[in-house]
Amino acid sequence: MASGRTLRSLTLAATFTFSATVQIETSAGDHRKSAFLLHSGFALPAVSGLSGELHSMSSSIENIVIVGTGSAGLTAAVYAGRANLSPLLIEGTLPGGQLTTTSEVENFPGFPEGIDGFQLMDNLRKQAAKFGARFEQGRIGSVDFSGQPLKLRTGEREILARSVIVATGASPRMMGVPGEKEYFGGKGVTTCATCDGAFYRNMDVVVVGGGDSACEEALFLTRFASSVTLIHRRDTLRASRIMAERTLAHPKIRPAWNSILTEVLGSPEAGVNGVRVKDAKTGAGRVIPCKGVFMAIGHVPNTEPFAQALDVDASGYLLPAGGSQVKTKVPGVFVAGDCADHIYRQAITAAGMGCQAAIEAERWLAEHGA
């Protein structure tokens, strides 16, 4: 097998924007984004007309606006739609969310044979649309949650809402090295051992990073991989002592100290077959053969537009309030998914939070006479 993952004929030529934080943009390529929108009965040519039409509606107040159309946002939309709330979803730059960037999902309940990530999100989108969810292209750039109605601004217009669910996800950090985006999402480069580790049975893999997450990923991968090389730019791990000791003691894990990833190697047909690293001290280069590359250098929550209005932790993750997972300090504003969860980061946990947020929003609206 070429790489640990099934290589799909459908090109997963991910298009990334490597900015300060890596946004996995409409990853699977524009044609996939278009397909997603068109599949969903949301024809692209209509979109430009749509924004004008919506502009004229800007004085009406939405019952519920859901920001983001990943697992969390779309699940919230199913619940809000079935509660007759006619939710409005704002897509952001990655309609369908992160799962559209991966070819095979084996751990989402209900699919014993696994399901293509893009297909799963397309199904979920159709399910939401069936119950009256409305979709709008655009990115929320700023909000004013100081009173009712709540205000959200895209570049084009201001949206007024009685309740809001923020479900904007978190973007994995990437290195920005050659080969990384070409082999992302099904051809050997990934950001999630829990999601993709099982595809690398009896193969050599590398993990890039030196913190607790990198150690966790490396330890998890020892269940499947024949060897795990931990590539770290320093000569000690940043991880907590106990985690570092456990990691370095594992017979399948070997550290590549003072090593900086400079390139992911492979071929379009066979996927990844190695990585090139540079010695941080001597500058000497070498190749480490491997089939899988797990980036474990952190995630950046997409919460910047909300960071003034809501509480965030030191890393920018939205903080819930009042002993709830999804309520916030602002009445009528709820959070769901990876933007408020730095621990689990799974489609099913995001979906679960989307469900909770929609039920809470529905109750809040009922209590406040909507």
Ligand X SMILES: Cc1cc2nc3c(=O)[nH]c(=O)nc-3n(C[C@H](O)[C@H](O)[C@H](O)COP(=O)(O)OP(=O)(O)OC[C@H]3O[C@@H](n4cnc5c(N)ncnc54)[C@H](O)[C@@H]3O)c2cc1C
Any contact of residue 92 with ligand X (CB under 6 A)? yes
Structure tokens at 195: 């999601």
Within 10 A of 2 (CB to CB), how many other CB atoms are there? 17
In the complex, the smallest distance separating the C-beta of residue 364 from ligand X, rounded to whole angstroms, is 21
Residue (140 or 244) nearer to ligand X, CB: 140
| Residue 166 contacts residue 288 (beta carbons within 8 Å) | no
Any contact of residue 312 with ligand X (CB under 6 A)? no
Residue (124 or 277) nearer to ligand X, CB: 124
Stretch touching ligand X by CB under 6 A, among 29-37, 41-49, 56-64, 163-171:
163-171
Residue (97 or 255) nearer to ligand X, CB: 97
In the complex, the smallest distance separating the C-beta of residue 35 from ligand X, rounded to whole angstroms, is 15
Q: Pick from 4, 29, 97, 188 the residue near ligand X by CB under 6 A.
A: 97
- Cα separation, 104 vs 118, in Å, equals 9
Positions annotated as catalytic residues are 192, 195-196
- Cα separation, 341 vs 358, in Å, equals 17
Site string for ligand X, 166-195 (x = CB under 6 A): -xxx--x------------x----xxx--x
Enumerate residues 6+ apart whose C-beta is below 8 A from 300.
21, 22, 170, 171, 173, 316
In the complex, the smallest distance separating the C-beta of residue 355 from ligand X, rounded to whole angstroms, is 12
- State the virtual CA torsion across 130, 131, 136, 137 in degrees, nearest 10: -50
- State the virtual CA torsion across 294, 297, 299, 300 in degrees, nearest 10: -140
Query: Where is 66: in which H helix or E strand?
Result: strand 61-67
Stretch touching ligand X by CB under 6 A, among 5-13, 36-44, 89-97, 207-215:
89-97
Residue (163 or 259) nearer to ligand X, CB: 163
Q: Pick from 67, 177, 215, 231 the residue near ligand X by CB under 6 A.
A: 67
The closest alpha carbon to 106, from 217, 236, 11, 197, belongs to 197
Q: Pick from 66, 85, 105, 260 the residue near ligand X by CB under 6 A.
A: 105
- Cα separation, 302 vs 120, in Å, equals 22
Q: Pick from 175, 350, 358, 361 the residue near ligand X by CB under 6 A.
A: 350
Site residue total, ligand X (CB under 6 A): 41
Any contact of residue 150 with ligand X (CB under 6 A)? no
How far CA 299 is from CA of 157, 278, 316, 320, 348, in Å, comes to 29, 24, 10, 19, 18
Residue (198 or 280) nearer to ligand X, CB: 198
Any contact of residue 338 with ligand X (CB under 6 A)? yes
Residue (248 or 348) nearer to ligand X, CB: 348
Structure tokens at 15: 């298009």
Q: Pick from 163, 302, 328, 356 the residue near ligand X by CB under 6 A.
A: 302
Q: What angle do CA 138, 69, 160 make, to 5 degrees?
A: 50
Strands 189-190 and 204-208: unpaired
Q: Which residues bind ligand X (CB under 6 A)?
A: 67-73, 90-95, 97-99, 101-102, 105, 107-108, 139-140, 167-169, 172, 185, 190-192, 195, 302, 305, 337-338, 345-348, 350
